[in-house]
Amino acid sequence: MELSSFFLMRHEMVLLAIALILIIAEILIPKQKKSSAVHLAIFLFGIHTALGFFPLEESSLFGGMFRTNSLIHFFKNVLNIGVFILLLQSADWIQEKIVKLNRGTEFFILLFFSLLGMYFMISAGDFLMFYIGMELSTIPVAALAAFELVKRTSSEAGIKLILSAALASGISLFGISLLYATSGSIYFHDIIEVITSNNLTILGFVLFFAGLAFKISLVPFHFWTADVYEGAPISVASYLSVISKGAAVFILMILMFTVLRPLMEVWENMIYVVALATMFVGNLFALRQQNMKRFLAFSSIAQAGFILLGLITGTQLGTASVVYFVMIYIFSNLAAFGVVQAISLKTGKENIDDYNGLYRTNPKLSLIMLLALFSLAGIPPVAGFFGKFFLYTAAASEGYYFLVFLAVVNVTISLYYYLLVVRAMFLRTNENPIPFFNNKLYMRLGLGITVIGILVLGVYSPLYDYIYELSAVFNQ
């Protein structure tokens, strides 16, 4: 093995280096200047994101434990952009609230380690690497959820997350061990050869699926979602809802389409039921939420249900549509969370009723929120429409017309609660509305990028073609 083959792990290496630099910076930077660590972290991560776009070869390392290819590479870049936006949006919060507690750098270090875990998870070539990645991605997030030590809800969120995550990964590990018992290997490329549909394998798969379903917050593994989102700092909730969910969906899809394809007859039916349950539960519970964070939590549960529409197909079209949708979803949801973050930081208000009359005082923020919600609901011409339409097409092309129909019914339900927020911002008036405020540079950048993403990603068709080409990797 040559040293140069480590370049395949460029993403991981660079991110690890950044995390280590930050640890050193934490020691070196004097106490009064701690806020400069925020600039440093964002700057370094910006470079890392840019570096990610250089092309990479397709190969594997460590005897197949770690693999990378163009689609995985692309998806890591998508995650990078998401995290970068997230950092920009949370910079103000960190500088105002966290640096005072002398924990600014810590936030970035934990976040980067969690992201590193996701890289390993989606690059995994065997179940061991996969499991390590999954754990590495979860545990720091639990620490992050409990980050606002002064708030009891925050600690509650942290404990809830770590306990349910531990349980989920335990179950998942049990499933993996059953798969190992039936196939005699933990390497994906070995398992593909020998896996057959028998009871023990199916049991193993279902348990394994449960662990990932927890991360994607699919029904019935969604109970932690709303509580954790509500208690955790907004940046962390937003990280959980987009980055963590996106990565988990991606690896689940890869595994189902390659290693577990022989079990397709089983997982087809399973996904069908789970998709319906997730969409309906997410949407119906979102209807009556008052807190914006809980509201977005249930909305993101429902969105996960839509993603399953692409997973059920097992085709290249499905893969491409899922990746495309996840990318759009990252931008849309980050825009929504960004606005919630900005308002919460300035005024501490997080309820939908507090947003009454927002347009008259803060038109820009309201318009960004409007775009984000329309994109989540799938209203043209913003990106979400295209993402959803392609998911429907992918599912319908495999004959799931009825599922598509129910999904679109769900879109109508979801439109109701998205419009409730629009109603609050645009239709209602308020005696003491949220006063006008200007956002700082980082927040403006963070919101600006999401808006561009929402407006451009859908209409710009070469992007989809590109993803479609990449998706061929897993669908020979």
- Please give the residue ranges that form the binding site for another protein (CB under 8 A): 317, 320, 374, 379-381, 385, 389-390, 392-393, 396-397, 401, 404-405, 408-409, 411-412, 415-416, 419, 422-423, 426-427, 461, 464-465, 468
Q: How far is 453 from 365, CA to CA, in rounded Å?
A: 16
CB 376 to another protein: min, Å: 14
CB 472 to another protein: min, Å: 11
Closer residue to another protein, CB minimum distance, 221 or 257: 257
How many residues belong to the chain?
A: 476
Q: How far is 118 from 140, CA to CA, in rounded Å?
A: 12
Closer residue to another protein, CB minimum distance, 174 or 389: 389
Closer residue to another protein, CB minimum distance, 64 or 380: 380
Closer residue to another protein, CB minimum distance, 182 or 366: 366
Which residues pair with residue 61 across a beta bridge?
66
CB 280 to another protein: min, Å: 14
CB 305 to another protein: min, Å: 15
Contact criterion met (CB below 8 Å) for 308 and 217: no
Residue 360 CB partners (closer than 8 Å, separation 6+):
429, 433
Closer residue to another protein, CB minimum distance, 132 or 367: 367
Whole-number Cα distances in Å, 302 to 177, 256, 411? 31, 21, 9
Closer residue to another protein, CB minimum distance, 416 or 437: 416
Closer residue to another protein, CB minimum distance, 174 or 468: 468
Q: Both tokens of residue 391?
A: 């998911």
Q: How far is 462 from 465, CA to CA, in rounded Å?
A: 5
Contact criterion met (CB below 8 Å) for 78 and 326: yes
Q: How far is 410 from 291, CA to CA, in rounded Å?
A: 21
Closer residue to another protein, CB minimum distance, 120 or 306: 306
Contact criterion met (CB below 8 Å) for 447 and 89: yes
Contact criterion met (CB below 8 Å) for 308 and 56: no
- C-alpha dihedral sign at 173, 175, 176, 181: positive
SS3 state of residue 49: helix
Q: Both tokens of residue 447?
A: 């919101």
Q: How far is 390 from 406, CA to CA, in rounded Å?
A: 16
CB 275 to another protein: min, Å: 16
Closer residue to another protein, CB minimum distance, 153 or 475: 475
Q: How far is 276 from 269, CA to CA, in rounded Å?
A: 11
Q: What is the Cα Rg of the chain in Å?
A: 21
Contact criterion met (CB below 8 Å) for 400 and 327: no
CB 154 to another protein: min, Å: 35
Residue 239: which of 378, 338, 131 has the closest Cα? 338
Angle at the Cα of 444 from the Cα atoms of 451 and 421, rounded to 5 degrees: 55
CB 317 to another protein: min, Å: 7
CB 457 to another protein: min, Å: 13
Closer residue to another protein, CB minimum distance, 13 or 408: 408
182-187 contact pairs (CB < 8 A, 24+): 186/126, 186/127, 186/128, 187/63, 187/64, 187/65, 187/125, 187/126
CB 318 to another protein: min, Å: 12
Closer residue to another protein, CB minimum distance, 43 or 401: 401
DSSP code of residue 400? -
**216: burial class by Cβ within 10 Å (0-12, 13-18, 19+)?**
buried
CB 400 to another protein: min, Å: 10
CB 276 to another protein: min, Å: 15
Cα 463 to chain center, whole Å?
Answer: 20
Closer residue to another protein, CB minimum distance, 108 or 418: 418
CB 88 to another protein: min, Å: 25
Q: How far is 457 from 189, CA to CA, in rounded Å?
A: 34
